[in-house]
Amino acid sequence: MDTLGIIRQIEADAALRAQLRAVLLGDELLALPAQVAQLIEGQREMQAAIRDLTESQKQMQAAITGLIGRQDRMEDTLTQLVQSQREMQAAIRALTDSQKQIVIRQDRMEAAITALTESHQRLEMSHNRLVGEFSQMKGLLVENRIRDRMQYYVPAGIENVQVITGQEFKDLLDELNQKKTLAKEEHTRITKTDIVASAQVEGDPVVLVAEVSGSLYPSDVERVVESAKILQERGKRAKPLVFGEAVADNSVNDLAGRHGVEICLGL
């Protein structure tokens, strides 16, 4: 068979052509189209992966951009917070300084009030002392006036009034002490009684004991009652009196009425 006939036979027989290609090309060369197809498919897949990666990268960049924006906003917020804190600290320092000034002024004011209070107390003490001295002086003047003209100040029915002084008063103390020993406080009470006088009431002898004060208080009544009691316990008929310009309150009248003390006013 000539060459042309062989070629025609190969072209007419597909199986023969396949055998011939296998002989001439070998398995590796025959597998090359499939490998190329796989390579093309792999390239397509790689391109798809690259596109996905590119898209992911874009999304990541967008996320990073958003994060950077949030971070910037956070930094701005922190900056504002720091500024606010500084302003608050400045306000607290100003308030503290103001409070210190208030405390200083308050201390000065308290010191001034203390000094004023002490001055007022000294003034009040001086006033009380002057009032006391004036009352005492006035009481002495009234007492001396009554002593000199006691007969004119005693109530009606009391006659022959004679103030007991000097040796006569000492003799009275001795007589009282002989009848019943005078305790120290009893002796003091008698000697401090403003006026002790002898008198007669309806012809009977009595001993007048009197307290004298500008304004009469319950204590004046209580003292003269105690003086009269000391005399009465030793057999003396005693008549208690109080002399003054006015009574301090109604309690003086009530107390005097209960103890039989006569109140002589309008000196």
Tell me if 253 sits within 8 A of 247, measured CB to CB. yes
Distance CA 266, CA 243 (A): 9
- Per-residue pLDDT at 130: 61
Long-range contacts from 228-233, C-beta under 8 angstroms, 24+ separation: 230/176, 230/182, 230/186, 230/189, 230/190, 231/176, 231/190, 231/207, 233/180
- Per-residue pLDDT at 120: 77
Q: Are strands 238-243 and 215-216 parallel, antiparallel or unpaired?
A: unpaired
Tell me if 77 sits within 8 A of 69, measured CB to CB. no
Domain map of the chain by residue range? 149-264
SS3 159: strand
Distance CA 267, CA 245 (A): 5
Which CATH number among 1.20.120, 3.40.50, 2.30.30, 3.40.1350 corresponds to the domain 149-264? Answer: 3.40.1350
Number of H helices, E strands in the chain: 7, 7
Distance CA 166, CA 226 (A): 22
Distance CA 205, CA 201 (A): 7
Instruction: List pLDDT tens digits, range 145-204.
Output: 787 788 888 998 999 999 999 999 999 999 999 999 999 999 999 999 999 999 999 889
- Per-residue pLDDT at 135: 56
- Per-residue pLDDT at 54: 84
Tell me if 194 sits within 8 A of 144, measured CB to CB. no
- Per-residue pLDDT at 1: 58
- Per-residue pLDDT at 73: 85
Give me the average pLDDT of each 10-residue run along the chain (267 residues). Answer: 73 76 66 77 84 84 83 84 86 85 85 80 70 56 75 90 94 94 96 94 94 91 96 95 91 94 85
- Per-residue pLDDT at 164: 94
- Per-residue pLDDT at 261: 95
